[in-house]
Amino acid sequence: MTLLPVLSFLGFCLAFQLATGWAIEAMPLLAASTLITALYLAVLAGPLLAVAAKIFFGAGLLFFAGAVVIMVLRQRKIPDVFTRLLTPGFVLFLVVILAAWFRMHGQVFLEWDDFSHWGLAIKDIVLNGALPASDSLVTFKDYPPGSTLFQYFMGVPVGYCEGNALFFHSLLLFSAAVAFTAGFSWRKALAASAAFMLPCLFISVFGFSFRTVMVDSLIGFFAGAALAGYFLSKDSLAAAALRVTPVLFVLPLFKPVGTLLAFAVAVAITADIVHQARVGGTATGIAGRSRFARFALLIPVLLLLAPAISTKSWSRHVKALHLAETFNTRIPASSVFDSFSGRATVRDKTTIAAFTVAMFKKNMGRPGLPPLVWALLLLWIATSLFYHSVPAERSQIKSSQTVMTVCFFAYSFGLLLLYLNSFGEYEGTRLASFGRYMGLFMLAWGASLAGFVARWLRGAEGRDIRPVHVAAIAALVLAVWAFIPLKNKHLAVRESVARIVAQAKIVLKSGDRVYLIWQNTDGYEYYISRYELFPFNSALAPFSVGRKYKAGDAWTQDLAVRDWVTMLSKNDYLLVGRADAAFWERYSRLFVGKPLACGSGLFRIRGAGGSVNLECSSKRSGV
């Protein structure tokens, strides 16, 4: 059943190819982006998501069956059909997604962010058939739903499963990767595999993984693939640019940072369009200089409008639903000037100093290199490609990499402003997730360069391409390694928490609210238990209470008994996942009987206001 949604997705790929005649390798990225766009429009139109997803799913299966029928009816043209469809890149795409399904369909989430948001958001939308409601467990309800909409479409016939979610997420990544193989013949099949695997390898190089549903890698990969697909296209310039438009529309729907990368791609393509217009558009497939010059003005407008429309429409949707804003991105100019002037606060100075050091010294990715070193390395690769390219291609490398370099500094400065103004004091001064945020942009930059490498591979002949054979095999081995299940230290924690929650859910009834305690932990177990408790409600609240355990303990809140009682009174049950002597010393008087004998487990909250009693509802010996 899991492969049924894959057939529906492939149906759209085949339908788009047969309708347009464009390269089949470009169709998965186009199909994924178009499906997300269509489902997003259904969300904006009202409660039409469930109906739209089922219609599109059925249409995909019909497209797949129709494509097969068309190929059978055109028996005399079967060789031509197979030449257009069964290219080395697309065949590799099919093989890889089949291998990914075998490897991933039984895996589970282990990453922190999968439990705290991304996995929970997928679970919510697949099981409920709608975007998270106001009382949903999903914390960041203002986050755009791009990836979750695709997950919902793919989950129509199979429901929710963590292994499927990981597989569908990988399908999105591979849909972008196959775009790098456009135009390769079977004579260069090994070079095509290198073109496919190189950007996939960048996912691991810049610190990401196929074993998570976090969208950061999607944003970087889609942006790089959009730019690469444009420059690799053998179709007309207009066709190449139009194929990119849906990708630019969905980039902001993955995460707000996608807006910046979408505009970067749009500007890079616009620069090339302007150059083509100046030289007469001879390589564009559009006859006539004056006609092309007029038409060329419309393409950049379309490219720039796509991300602007999706960003603005989601912002209005969030405001209409009165959803809380996770990150305040509207930073007054006065605040920016103050942070870099004599009016800077101690926190401003600490954050700026830490950020400066991190840019030069904080290692990220594999192998660990500071962001500025990575930037210099990517510029060196771009320079090498520039001097090994024909003159007609050099302007594209120069313009696109100039745009990416400028955007790198703009992105870095914007990230610093977020640390100064949008993050909390703990996250801001410690540069929370710095490596992941910088890796996102580096992945987009590296993937854009991989497109030019792929174009060089496609045109290289003879001995020039022989070293690539070794690189292709090495990349293939590393890519296979990315799917091999590793013994993860978090797996035992996940299984332990799941057992505790499963026992508690036996007692819980629909509508019950649960307060969670994971004493002296960093929140990993807490977010796992919230995820496992779904659909039971567990509001965000301090999960480690009492005296702080050490200096810099950001997780434990020193709550007096009466303050904690006020929080507890809003819930029906208390689930103690982990407790220690310090916890029992301060709060044991709230528990009926002998709480130490009851141990960790579920406690019924009796009473209200300033007085509650906690009665043991289930028992479990120490965790």
Weakest mean pLDDT among 22-26, 433-437, 613-617:
613-617
Weakest mean pLDDT among 200-209, 290-299, 536-545:
290-299
Q: Nearest CA to 34 among 453, 235, 22?
A: 22
Weakest mean pLDDT among 276-290, 384-398, 550-564:
276-290
CA distance 264 to 440: 14
Q: Nearest CA to 211 among 437, 475, 485, 458?
A: 485
Q: Are residues 36 and 115 in the same domain?
A: yes
Residue 622 lies in a domain: no
Q: Are residues 19 and 156 in the same domain?
A: yes
Q: What are 210's two structure tokens?
A: 């196929």
Q: Are the C-beta atoms of 66 and 15 separated by less than 8 Å?
A: yes
CA distance 513 to 538: 6
Q: Are residues 401 and 501 in the same domain?
A: no
Give the confidence band of 68 by pLDDT, cuts at 50, 70, 90: confident
Domain boundary among 481, 502, 517: 481
Give the confidence band of 37 by pLDDT, cuts at 50, 70, 90: very high
CA-to-CA separations, 361 to 204, 369, 373, 451, in angstroms, rounded: 20, 8, 9, 29
Of the two residues 290 and 324, the one the predictor is more confident about is 324
**Which residue bears the tokens 């053998």?**
234
Residue 623 lies in a domain: no
Q: Are residues 456 and 567 in the same domain?
A: no
Three-state SS at 183: coil
Number of domains in the chain: 2
Domain boundary among 481, 514, 546: 481
**Residue range 506-531: mean pLDDT, rounded:** 93
Residue 177 lies in a domain: yes
Three-state SS at 142: coil
CA distance 146 to 34: 11
Give the confidence band of 622 by pLDDT, cuts at 50, 70, 90: very low
CA distance 620 to 623: 8
Q: Are residues 447 and 564 in the same domain?
A: no
Domain boundary among 464, 481, 498: 481
Amino acid of residue 349: K
CA distance 226 to 448: 8
Which DSSP symbol is given to 139? S
Within 13 A of 520's CA, how many CA atoms are on the CB side?
Answer: 13
What is the β-pairing status of strands 556-557 and 544-545? parallel
Q: Are residues 130 and 275 in the same domain?
A: yes
Q: Are residues 123 and 16 in the same domain?
A: yes
Give the confidence band of 391 by pLDDT, cuts at 50, 70, 90: confident
Per DSSP, helices labelled H in 280-424 are: 289-320, 333-339, 346-361, 371-387, 391-421
Residue 179 lies in a domain: yes
> According to the model, what pLDDT value does residue 286 have?
39
Q: Are residues 83 and 205 in the same domain?
A: yes
CA-to-CA separations, 501 to 94, 516, 538, 575, in angstroms, rounded: 39, 10, 12, 8
Q: Are the C-beta atoms of 535 and 512 separated by less than 8 Å?
A: no
Q: Are the C-beta atoms of 213 and 145 separated by less than 8 Å?
A: no
CA distance 354 to 372: 15
Q: Nearest CA to 431 among 441, 440, 422, 442?
A: 422
Strand partners, 544: 556
Domain that holds residue 607: 489-616
C-alpha gyration radius of the chain: 26
Amino acid of residue 406: V
Q: Are the C-beta atoms of 574 and 603 separated by less than 8 Å?
A: yes
pLDDT digits (tens, 9 = 90+) for 356-383: 999 999 888 777 889 999 999 999 999 9
pLDDT digits (tens, 9 = 90+) for 302-341: 999 999 999 999 999 998 888 888 877 788 888 889 889 8
Q: What are 107's two structure tokens?
A: 């895996």
> According to the model, what pLDDT value does residue 323 have?
83
CA distance 456 to 594: 73
Residue 293 lies in a domain: yes
In this structure, how many other beta carbons lie within 10 angstroms of the beta carbon of residue 507?
A: 14
Question: CA end-to-end span of the chain, whole Å?
Answer: 37
CA distance 497 to 322: 34
Residue 279 lies in a domain: yes
CA distance 313 to 70: 39
Give the confidence band of 467 by pLDDT, cuts at 50, 70, 90: low
609: pLDDT strictly greater than 80? no
Q: Are residues 463 and 500 in the same domain?
A: no
**Residue range 494-507: mean pLDDT, rounded:** 92
Residues 6 or more apart in contact with residue 77 via CB below 8 angstroms: none
291: pLDDT strictly greater than 60? no
Regarding pTM above 0.95, the answer is: no
Residue 621 lies in a domain: no
> According to the model, what pLDDT value does residue 122 have?
95
Q: Are residues 253 and 230 in the same domain?
A: yes
What is the β-pairing status of strands 544-545 and 514-518? unpaired
Q: What are 463's two structure tokens?
A: 């001995």
Q: Are residues 439 and 577 in the same domain?
A: no
Q: What are 586's two structure tokens?
A: 């301060």
The average confidence (pLDDT) of the chain is 86
Q: Are residues 474 and 502 in the same domain?
A: no
